[in-house]
Structures are given as C-alpha cells and as structure tokens.
Amino acid sequence: MSDRNGRLLEYRAQFPILERKTYLVSHSLGAMPRGAVGGLEQYSREWMDEGVAAWNDWWGLPISIGDSIGSLIGAPPDSISMQPNVTLATAVFLSSFDWAGPRNGIVTTELHFPSVLHILDGMRDQGARLTVVPGVDGISIDTDRLIERIDESTQVVNISHVLFRSSFIQNVAAVVEKAHHVGAHVLIDIYQSAGTVPIDLTELGVDAAVGGCLKWLCGGPGNAYLYVRPDLSGRLTPRLTGWMSHAAPFEFKIPPVDRANGGWRFLSGTPSVPAMRAAEAGLEIVTRAGVEAIREKSLRLTGRIIDRSDREGWKVNTPRSDESRGGTVSIDLPAADSMAGSLDDLEIMVDCRPGAGIRMGPHFYNTEDEVDRALDAIAALLAESNS
C-alpha cells in the first residue's frame, strides 16, 4: 500500500515525542510508540502478579518476537533468535566455525560498523585471517573489489546491507553469488535497512543476518536478532550459546550439548524480557504501515534533503541514486558536532558521526515540513556563523 494521501501520517499520534520535537534521528533510535508503554506495563503486571509463572508467557518470546521481525524481512518462522545486541549476535554466528582450519578467511569492509569490526579483529586470535576491503571516498564500497577478495579460503563474508555512515546500499546479491560459488557464507548486518529499505532474506539467499529493533523498527534497545538460513542452521554448531539452546533445557544436562533446532539453537542464557515486551508495539505499527510504503516516503524525504543541500552548496556524503541510498542522509557541514547540539537546542533531533557529518533519518511519521524546518535551521545557523 502506498503513502498516497499521507496515510502514514495517521501513525504520528502514536509517537508522543513528535508533539514536542522535530525527530529526524530514527537511524539511531526510533521514536517510542505509546504502545510500548503498554508492553512494559504488561511485563510489570506479569512479573508482579504471576511471579515465576510468568515464564509460561515469556519463555517463547525470543522466537515469537523473532517471527514478527521475520515477516518483515522475508525470514520463515523459527529462523530468528533474539539476541542482546548486533555485536554479540555476530559473535554467536561466527562461533559456529572452525577458525584454525584452512578455510579461515573473513572478508569485510572498513565501512562496516566499528563494534562489529572489533569482534572480527578479535577472531584473529582464534586463527581467522581478516581481509578488510577499503571504502571509496568514505561513502561506498566497490562491489568488484569486494568480490575479488572472496575465494576458496573464505569462511564468512560479513558486510552491512546499508552502511551506517553514508547510507550506501551494498550489492548483497552479487556478494552472495560469489561467496556461494566458492563455498563461503554471507552474514549481513541489516540494522540500517530493516524497517526502511525492503529486504527479503530468503530471496537474497544470505546464510545469516543480524539486526535490531532499536532504530527503524521503533522497538527500543536490547532487541537485536540473528537469522540463520533454515537449511543451514541444523548443520552449524554455535559455541557461544547456553542452556536455552539445549534441546531439553530443563534437564540441566552437562555437555556434550544436544542442541535444539531453528532459532532456539542460537540462544544463550535468560533473555531480556522487558526489552522484548517493549518491542512488540513498534513491530506491529511498522508491519501495518508496510515497508514498501515507508521506503517510498523515505526516498521522497531523503531526496528532498539532498536537493536542498545541493541548492545550498552543502556536501552530501550519501549516494544520490535511489537504488544506492538507504534511509539516512549525511551532510558534511563545518563544525557538524556543535551544529547537532545547536539543532537540539531548537528541539530538532539529528546526530553527527565522524566522517559522515550531520545524519538525518526521516521515518514514516515525519512530514516534509519537519524536514524543511531542520534544513532551514541548518541554513540559518550556518549564516549566523559566517556573519
């Protein structure tokens, strides 16, 4: 369903912060829906009234919430497990492989999220050979250059679908094709795409994906997830797991571990129940809004930011074409850090990242007027600092 007649703006009333702030920072933290308060109240009531019996309601959440996410990203039921954050979710998937053997290559890019690069770098201690493909102008990745580095010694290619700094959309299909041709696995980070750029994990054929509900899914922190291709997951033996991944967790058996199948196979210890209860409302709204319609609107609003930046002569650190651009626009402005602070004083919320500049991420609940208000404010602040 498209956004004709501004259908998506009907959801604005469900996000109280929009009454007070020009909120253009959903690439960092999506606005909190009113319904999330209900989810947290539900959690409180369950704990307060039912005590330990609340586990009857809570136990399956790491998989059922995963299923709700899965329906947005083309993942079948029971293929996703909830994880504390993307960094650890990445480590869980990587723990499935033997890094001391001849197929020990990890191929990534320098524009991947740094926290994940920390994990990949640490894998060297386990015998992994890390190849970090450089970016182009800090904005994009040359797909051919990336693909060239994937060979028979590669175990995992780990890239972001949409880069957090520039919002460049990587050519995942081409990477999957090459990786599978040489027997390597592809793990993609869809944190910056799920909920704003349509993605179908099954169609893409990726082996695994990680992401979170914090940003474009308006689900708050503590709600990351790991997808593993169903026909692959049973063949993997993840080491970074715990009792919840055991086929019979309540038998409390010592190793060897008889691992469960599906999403359960990748769980560790007790999950963050309040976080998952908070996530349900945002997921429901994004599902109803529809990611196709969200994307159509996102392209319109990000295009508006780029057009104005061009008219003003501001340098844009985000690809211009619709096919290569995710949900955020990075504008390279002088003193961008203090500019973000000045905008905050005007109740305009954006953020600033080194190498990116000011990042603006309009979502389905934003208006063109809000985007214009932020851009007018930037122009006024720049004029003031130049006078």
Choices 109-117, 146-154, 199-207, 227-235; region in contact with ligand PLP by CB under 6 A? 109-117
Minimum distance of ligand PLP from residue 88's CB (angstroms):
7
Taking the C-alpha atoms of residue 366 and residue 193, their distance in angstroms, rounded to an integer, is 17
Binding status of residue 189 toward ligand PLP by CB under 6 A: yes
Binding status of residue 339 toward ligand PLP by CB under 6 A: no
Taking the C-alpha atoms of residue 52 and residue 33, their distance in angstroms, rounded to an integer, is 28
What is the DSSP track for 33-100?
PHHHHHHHHHHHHIIIIIGGGGHHHHTTHHHHHHHHHHHHHT--TT-EEEES-HHHHHHHHHTTS-SS
Nearer to ligand PLP, 191 or 364 (CB): 191
Site string for ligand PLP, 160-179 (x = CB under 6 A): x---x---------------
Nearer to ligand PLP, 224 or 279 (CB): 224
Minimum distance of ligand PLP from residue 219's CB (angstroms):
12
Nearer to ligand PLP, 349 or 381 (CB): 349
H or E element that contains 352: strand 351-353
* CB atoms closer than 10 angstroms to residue 179: 24
Nearer to ligand PLP, 161 or 295 (CB): 161
Minimum distance of ligand PLP from residue 172's CB (angstroms):
13
- What is the four-CA torsion angle of 111, 120, 173, 210, rounded to 10 degrees? -100
Taking the C-alpha atoms of residue 333 and residue 336, their distance in angstroms, rounded to an integer, is 5
Choices 111-119, 136-144, 150-158, 367-375; region in contact with ligand PLP by CB under 6 A? 111-119
Minimum distance of ligand PLP from residue 296's CB (angstroms):
22
Kindly identify the residues of this chain, within the stretch 221-250, that bind ligand PLP according to CB under 6 A. Answer: 224
The two three-digit tokens of residue 233, written as one number: 């997951």
Minimum distance of ligand PLP from residue 189's CB (angstroms):
5
- Whether the Cβ atoms of residue 164 and residue 141 lie closer than 8 Å to each other: no
Site string for ligand PLP, 192-221 (x = CB under 6 A): x-------------------x---------
- Strand 154-160 and strand 105-109: the pairing is parallel
Nearer to ligand PLP, 62 or 246 (CB): 62
- Strand 208-212 and strand 224-228: the pairing is antiparallel
Minimum distance of ligand PLP from residue 212's CB (angstroms):
5
Chain position carrying tokens 């619709």: 322
Binding status of residue 113 toward ligand PLP by CB under 6 A: yes
Amino acid making up residue 51: G
Minimum distance of ligand PLP from residue 196's CB (angstroms):
12
How many angstroms from the chain centroid is the CA of residue 131? 23
- Give the 3-state secondary structure of 207-232: CEEEEECCCCCCCCCCCEEEEECHHH
Kindly identify the residues of this chain, within the stretch 46-105, that bind ligand PLP according to CB under 6 A. Answer: 85-87
Minimum distance of ligand PLP from residue 314's CB (angstroms):
23
Please report, as ranges, the residues that interact with ligand PLP according to CB under 6 A.
85-87, 113, 115-116, 160, 164, 189, 191-192, 212, 224
